[in-house]
Structure 1
């Protein structure tokens, strides 16, 4: 065992970074901390950590918050669903979202209203953000029923304002909310879009404003009798439509 540890300790820093890329933050800390002083030093300089708090123990949550600085993180998943209630409030009591200066991807599951507002207010300060996913599904537990859809409706004005500020730089957007296409500029960077609600007319406007969109997953509502008139651009390679509970997939690859 000593020889194996010695060998790992001698690996080049870039190779250690490549190994860490395959693990989430808590797995890295649990697997590689205290191997040697040199490896501990590499852990302190690694700046591509991915936090996934959707299902995590309190001990691992505390471990991450104690040992990793926010400017070392590129991906963050927060959740207030039944497995991790109140997590986002606890997390933001320790670290402000605007401290994640290198954050590229942010995913929010069933975030409670007050903390969701705090996150949205600072979202435009994340200059490196390229992917944003907000999920408001209803979840159940034996003790409580969580229906987060009304919370999304309550913060719709703030959400719309925030999206108008961050959309031009996003490559991926997944949102359980209407997409206010008429209020956004030409979105030349957007490559992937998933929407929980849209009408045919709104969808056509979205396609006009996203000239490089390659993947679209959308649930259509309202009158869809004229869907055959929908003009799908040639660069759109992956199209998923849900219409009245029916699922349609088009793959142009």
Structure 2
């Protein structure tokens, strides 16, 4: 009788297992177990970047190691624990590099960062977009128009907007996703 170990599993099964691990575990632990796992992690192309509760050091390391074309989803935030994360991310990457990006969540985003992102995501293959603006921010008319036109261009299945009431007036004129889920609060 033969015994299997993680080291002898087919690459497809290891990819399947990676779907259940968080990004830090994949890049900072699993990747360094052996040369084979490093090769597997380097070829993996289903990354989900959830950067909400990540240290600055880990954030820097992830930005250095990750290949944008292997990323399917990104969650960015300018929360108390991760100030200026979105701006820092934008200084390192352009959204045009994320050719396979399907889901984008922007939490506690300010107008300048949102405007920068909106200029570059209209050609992405996004299926899901979530925007949670800073509670005190009200977007300029230009940003609201850009948001509205971007929503109209994207073929979204899911749209979540948490923006001010005044921002909704212009945005509400855009065609909203009809396939799955739209939530505006």
Does the TM-score normalized on the shorter chain lie above 0.5?
yes
Structure 1 position 184 matched with structure 2 position 175: yes
Matched residue SS, 2:80: coil
CA contact (8 A) 1:51 1:73 kept: yes
Q: Does 1:160 align with 2:155?
A: no
Change (3 A) 1:99 1:106: same
Cα-to-partner distance string for 1:110-160 (whole Å, 9 max, x where unaligned): 123222111001111212x1000001253xxxxxxxx3x324776212111
Q: Does 1:134 align with 2:131?
A: yes
What is the alpha-carbon distance in structure 2 between the residues aligned to residue 137 and residue 126 of structure 1? Answer: 24
Comparing 149-158 with 25-34, which one deviates more in the overlay? Answer: 149-158
Matched, 1:173 2:159: yes
Match of 1:94 among 81, 92, 115: 92
Asked whether the equivalents of residues 136 and 152 of structure 1 are also in contact (C-alpha less than 8 Å), the reply is: no
Cα 1:109–1:27 shift into 2, 3 Å:
same
C-alpha spacing 1:40/1:176, structure 2 compared with 1 (3 Å): same
- Assess if the C-alpha contact under 8 Å between 1:24 and 1:49 holds in 2: no
Per-residue deviation, residues 229-249 of structure 1 (Å, max 9, x unmatched): xxxxxxxxxxxxxxxxxxxxx
C-alpha separation in 2, matches of 1:173 and 1:13: 34
Q: What do you get for the CA RMSD once the two structures are aligned? A: 2.2
Partners in 2 of 1:193 and 1:152 — Cα distance? 23
SS of structure 2 residue aligned to 1:83: coil
| Aligned residues between the structures | 178
Cα displacement (A) at 1:27: 2.1
Tell me the TM-score normalized by structure 2.
0.87
Q: CA deviation at 1:173?
A: 0.7
Residue aligning to 1:195: 184
Mapped contact 2:44–2:70 kept (Cα < 8 A): yes
Q: Which runs of 5+ in 1 are unaligned?
A: 1-5, 139-146, 197-253
Does the 8 A contact of 2:109 with 2:134 survive in 1?
Answer: no
Distance of 2:98 and 2:174 partners within structure 1: 28
Where does structure 2 lack aligned partners over 5 or more consecutive residues? Answer: none
Name the counterpart of 2:21.
23
Contact 1:130–1:170 under 8 Å retained in 2? yes
- State the distance in 1 between where 2:141 and 2:52 align: 22
Residue of structure 2 equivalent to 1:243: none
Structure with the higher strand share, 1 or 2: 1
Query: What's the counterpart of residue 120 of structure 1?
Result: 118
